[in-house]
């Protein structure tokens, strides 16, 4: 039995309409998955970059320069061209939870850091150490701007390094 020409045209029109309605939803789902995956990549990359900066600081010791640590972090974090401005590194009390480098007794479950001096003994019997705190922050603007970038996601990694 041969189908009527008008019925074939109607079926094609229905398929085109279904495709037109489903495509935006599919693009939003695929774009959202790609955006989420890229955000997780940047979060992991930031953690690895901060770890590289802390390893460098620990290896160099008390003579380490803040500028060199920042360079190590920037070099270790893979970012596309133009996104380096979204990465910031703070040292020396320039942000909450980041204290100035120096001699401290770090104790307790918190832990808490109390200022000390070189060669002094802490209340728990350990010797004071020279510590450096720094925090790296990356603002992820998202892969797809507009509807999918619901908000800029700020990612932060903070580290405390005992240099001596």
Question: Using one digit for the tens of pLDDT, what is the confidence trace for 31-83?
Answer: 777 778 888 888 899 999 999 999 999 998 888 888 888 889 988 888 777 77
Q: Please say whether the beta carbons of 103 and 115 come within 8 A.
A: yes
* Confidence (pTM): 0.74
> For residue 97, what pLDDT is reported?
58
The count of other CB atoms within 10 Å of the CB of residue 43 is 16
- Please check the confidence at residue 150 and state whether its pLDDT lies above 60: no
Q: How far apart are CA 121 and CA 127, in angstroms?
A: 4
Which helix (H) or strand (E) segment is 88 a member of?
Answer: strand 87-91
- The whole domain housing 102 covers 5-162
Q: How far is CA 66 from CA 53, 75, 93, 123, 156, in A?
A: 10, 14, 13, 30, 18
Report the number of distinct structural domains present in the chain.
1
> For residue 49, what pLDDT is reported?
93
pLDDT mean across residues, the chain: 80
**Candidate from 5-9, 55-59, 132-136, 152-156 with smallest mean pLDDT:** 5-9
What is the residue whose two structure tokens read 């004071």? 128
> For residue 50, what pLDDT is reported?
92
Nearest to 146 by CA among 27, 26, 43: 27
The count of other CB atoms within 10 Å of the CB of residue 101 is 20
Q: Please say whether the beta carbons of 124 and 153 come within 8 A.
A: no
């Amino acid at each position: 039995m041969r189908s009527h020409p008008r019925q074939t045209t109607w079926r094609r029109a229905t398929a085109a309409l279904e495709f037109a309605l489903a495509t935006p939803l599919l693009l939003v789902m695929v774009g959202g998955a790609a955006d989420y995956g890229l955000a997780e990549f940047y979060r992991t990359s930031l953690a690895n970059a901060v770890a590289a900066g802390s390893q460098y600081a620990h290896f160099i010791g008390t003579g380490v320069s803040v500028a060199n640590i920042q360079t190590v972090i920037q070099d270790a974090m893979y970012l596309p061209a133009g996104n380096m401005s979204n990465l910031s590194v703070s040292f020396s009390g320039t942000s909450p939870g980041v204290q100035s480098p120096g001699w401290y007794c770090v104790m307790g479950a918190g832990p808490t850091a109390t200022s000390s001096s070189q060669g002094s003994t802490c209340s728990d019997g350990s010797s004071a150490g020279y510590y450096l705190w720094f925090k790296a922050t990356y603002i992820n603007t998202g892969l797809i701007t507009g509807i999918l970038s619901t908000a800029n996601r700020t990612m932060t990694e903070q580290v405390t390094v005992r240099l001596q």
